[in-house]
Amino acid sequence: MKVALGVTGCIAAYKAVEVMRGLQKAGVQVEVVLTRAGARFVPPLTFESLTGRNVVTDMFQTGRNLDIHHIALAQSIQMLVVAPATANIIGKFAHGIADDFLSTLYLATPAPVLLAPAMNSAMWRHPAVRANVEALRRRGCKVVAPEAGMLACGMEGDGRLAPVETIVARVLAALRAGPAGAAADKGAGDLAGLSVLVTAGPTVEDIDPIRFISNRSSGKMGYAVAAAAARRGAQVCLVSGPTALDAPDGVERIDVRSAAEMLDAVLSRYDAADVVVKAAAVADYRPSAPAGQKIKKAGGVRALELERTEDILALLGNRKKRQFLVGFAAETENVLASAREKLRGKNLDLVVANDVSRGVFGEDAAAVHILAPDGAEVALEAQPKAAVADRLLDEVLIRRGRRGEAPE
């Protein structure tokens, strides 16, 4: 296998040496493409000494033009990896600008592309950069999202290059998955070897055989997470309340109706799960004495006595051992504060907060915030729920990697 490793002008460029060594140890041949700015941080000699190969630094290097090198290299690699990827190169890729070897190589290669961005937090969050990243995602580029931490500028925030081991694992998984970027078999993908348990949809609590209490959840977000996890190689079990959606390919679906049924189904699979994503909208209350027969209309107003349902997420948080637990917080006010309280109070590893006052139920897109216990926050502007699902799984991989539990 042969990979082109693009290295751009960023203080994290020195970590590209470690990425290169990690790939070499896995038997991957690496050809380094160093931008002019990248060479200001790490000289070509460093990479040449470790690869035993010339480093590409210019479109018009003497002796490398006989075979139109950017075309020849583009056709010979199984993947183009850019680590670190600056806002500049991301913008060039997104808009088809080809003014150096690396940006020209991107346009010329049919191989899959993986980017590991690194930059200042304000730059990473800038709408222009976010739009460029999402445009590249939609074209099929894989993105290993940056993590939160101390940045070179002295600020704390997201924008720090993802851990080297995470980047290497994602590259190797993508190479196993083949040029289409999809799992060629159940063992391929960056979630290969993981058991992922997802809940989705509403629950239904019967008042009588005809009437019930429920909510507006369509299940689309949970189904998107299940589909993305399966596509990325995980063994996925989807516990679903009543929805009109078809089970994603390669996913085991368990259909339930009530909160109690969902609890039983989740607990039956919890011990074997590595990652649990609780995207279901579980009813908080149910009738305390559901009627066995239809309740007839009678004079006056009839009171309906309710009782609390099981708090499935809190129970899972209390029982958590090795599982990585993700919750969702659908709120209409004080969205982030309420989500952070849920994160702490229910012992979660991540929580996804969304403002449902905007009428997102049933929509194909969502804008969310992904919050972590260390205070890190990833804000995603409105985008397809499939893209949100992949971004969430990226965060899961990064966070598990930091706990020393990244998949091999």
**136, 140, 161: which is closest to 18 by C-alpha?**
161
Using alpha carbons, list the distances in angstroms from residue 342 to 57, 158, 222, 281, 346.
50, 22, 19, 14, 6
pLDDT the model gives residue 301: 66
- Are residues 34 and 142 located together in one domain of the fold? yes
pLDDT band at 191 (very low <50, low <70, confident <90, very high): confident
223 within domain boundaries: yes
Which residue, of 125, 149, 177, is where some domain finishes?
177
**Residues 72 and 144 both lie in one domain:** yes
* CATH code where residue 20 lies: 3.40.50.1950
Q: Could you tell me the CA-to-CA distances from 253 to 159, 186, 232, 388, 401 in Å, in that order?
A: 37, 17, 17, 21, 28
Question: Does any domain span residue 185?
Answer: no
33 and 171 assigned to the same domain: yes
CATH code assigned at 315: 3.40.50.10300
Higher pLDDT, residue 300 or 242: 242
Asked whether residue 207 falls in the same domain as residue 315, the answer is yes
How far is the C-alpha of 219 from the C-alpha of 361, rounded, in Å?
A: 9
Whether 314 is in a domain gets the answer: yes
**Are 163 and 111 within one domain?**
yes
Domain boundary among 119, 142, 177: 177
> What is the total count of domains within the chain?
2
Could you tell me if 142 and 209 lie in one domain?
A: no
245 shares its domain with 171:
no
The string of pLDDT tens digits covering residues 144-177 is 888 766 666 666 667 788 888 888 888 887 786 6
Tell which wins on pLDDT, 28 or 72. Answer: 28
Whether residues 199 and 170 fall in one domain: no
Quick one: pLDDT at residue 185?
38
> Has this prediction a pTM greater than 0.75?
no
| One domain, residues 246 and 127 | no
CA angle at 230 for the pair 359 and 169, rounded to the nearest 5° = 110
Instruction: Report the pLDDT averaged over residues 19-46.
Output: 92
Query: Which residues, 6 or more positions from 19, have their beta carbon under 8 angstroms from its beta carbon?
Result: 5, 81, 83, 116, 164, 167, 168, 171
Residue 29 placed within a domain: yes
**Statement to judge: residues 280 and 154 lie in one domain:** no
pLDDT at 359 over 80: no
C-beta separation of 244 from 203 below 8 A = no
Residues 75 and 105 in one domain: yes
Distance CA 49, CA 45 (A): 6
pLDDT tens for each residue of 112-152? 999 999 998 888 889 999 899 988 988 888 888 887 666 66
State residue 337's pLDDT score.
93
Residues acting as catalytic residues: 153
φ, ψ of residue 85 to 5 degrees: the values are: -105, 115
Give me the amino acid identity at 275. V
Same domain, 211 and 355: yes
Residue 183 lies in a domain: no
Range of the domain at 95: 2-177
- Does 187 map to a domain? no
- Whole-angstrom distance, CA of residue 173 vs CA of residue 171: 5
- Is 335 part of a structural domain of the chain? yes
Residue 33 lies in a domain: yes
Q: Which of 177, 210, 231 is the last residue of a domain?
A: 177
User: Is 348:320 a contact under the CB 8 Å cutoff?
Assistant: no
